[in-house]
Amino acid sequence: MSDTATQIQEQITANDVVLYMKGTKEMPQCGFSSRVAGVLNYMGVEFADVNVLADDAVRQGIKDFSDWPTVPQLYVKGEFVGGCDIITEMTMSGELDTLFETNGVTYDKDAAEKIREANG
């Protein structure tokens, strides 16, 4: 495994929820990253954010690691979940709630319901 792949593996192992994104959870640098970080922040999920714009090796490395061509990328308990469209669909269907519950990730269920109500 390359140094970058080892770094990524360590990040997703050390944190229950990791979002590889453009920018940070406080200051997203693209609309897709903003949407996923916004959902996680609104739902009160504790997550590590990795700014791929700060390191070109990680920016390409995460795409190679997951065999997924775009950022953002969400990992829960070491498993790749998906990008913006998948996370949006999972949020709207309630699948993201189930994923968090199954993996013991704390989140605000009322906030998740409010997202669905506002976008339903």
Domain boundaries, the chain: 3-119
pLDDT at position 118 is 95
Cβ atoms of 23 and 41 within 8 Å: the answer is no
pLDDT at position 102 is 97
pTM of the predicted protein model: 0.96
What's the rounded Cα separation, in Å, for the pair 113 and 25? 21
pLDDT at position 83 is 97
Each residue's pLDDT, cut to its tens digit, for the chain (120 residues) gives: 789 999 999 999 999 999 999 999 999 999 999 999 999 999 999 999 999 999 999 999 999 999 999 999 999 999 999 999 999 999 999 999 999 999 999 999 999 999 999 998
What's the rounded Cα separation, in Å, for the pair 73 and 82? 6
Q: Select from 15, 33, 32, 16 the least CA-distant residue to 24.
A: 33
Supply the CATH classification number for the domain 3-119: 3.40.30.10
pLDDT at position 57 is 96
Q: What would the two tokens of residue 4 be?
A: 């970058």
Question: SS3 of 101, please?
Answer: helix
Percent of the chain residues past pLDDT 70, beyond the cut:
100
CA distances from 86 to 2, 14, 55, 91 (A): 28, 23, 25, 8
